Amino acid sequence: MSDPIPATNQSFYDRISHAYDLISDAGEHKAREAGEQALNVQQGEHVLEIGYGTGNTMIHLATAVGDSGSVSGIDVSTGMLDVATKKLESKGFAERIDLCVGDARKLPYEDNTFDAVFASFTLELFPLDDIPAVLAEVTRVLKPGGRLGVVSMATVNAGDKPSELEKTYVWMHQHFPHIVDCQPIDVVSLVENAGLNIQQKVELTIWTMPVRCVVATVG
């Protein structure tokens, strides 16, 4: 059984939810949009976003799937749920998107539900030991041949030196995880170890830190 989500994580994102677009989205949106493009959601598909945040990607996904598809989202924060719901209502998408608060290590969806799952700057928020459980749940809820799209802070490639900012991030996460709750991860290895087949990789940087977009399929 998974441990409960730390209350500090939930309360932190509840507190910053109304300012999150100003705090983080300015640096993240280009990488997130590259991940969306790589995932290439189609009309009529059923799509899940893990860690929907303030709902920006949900609008793009709902537009892509059209009236014949569906979009669902799960996030740890009730504050993010409130912000995302208001944003979706203002854009006319509230009736087409199903949002919930919950734990991605135990997704509240039936097996083989989704054609695609998207997670942007979310996997690296989990402790490394918990990421396999998240990916196992993703595999469970994806249909055969379904696609996972991940955008994450990434560890440097073998032989490359990490930037000073990345080294600072790692140090801060190790010593003050309640302040810096994310860390660079080897997303390619994690996804492959979960039994998914890598189809596409995109390498990016944000503020000198490597970011990796990965699309993988089930089966």
- Alpha-carbon span 88 to 209, nearest angstrom: 31
Average pLDDT for runs of 10 along the chain of length 219: 54 64 69 95 98 93 96 94 93 92 96 98 91 97 98 79 66 56 86 97 87 95
Q: Please tell me the predicted confidence (pLDDT) of residue 52.
A: 94
pLDDT, position 167: 65
pLDDT at 1: 46
Chain centre distance of CA 67: 24
Per-residue pLDDT at 7: 45
pLDDT of residue 150: 98
CA triplet 181, 32, 59: central angle to 5 degrees? 110
pLDDT at 208: 80
- According to DSSP, residue 196 is labeled -
pLDDT given for residue 184 in this prediction: 87
The DSSP annotation for 76-96 comes to: S-HHHHHHHHHHHHHHT-GGG
Domain architecture of the chain: domains with CATH:
7-217 (3.40.50.150)
Prediction pTM value: 0.86
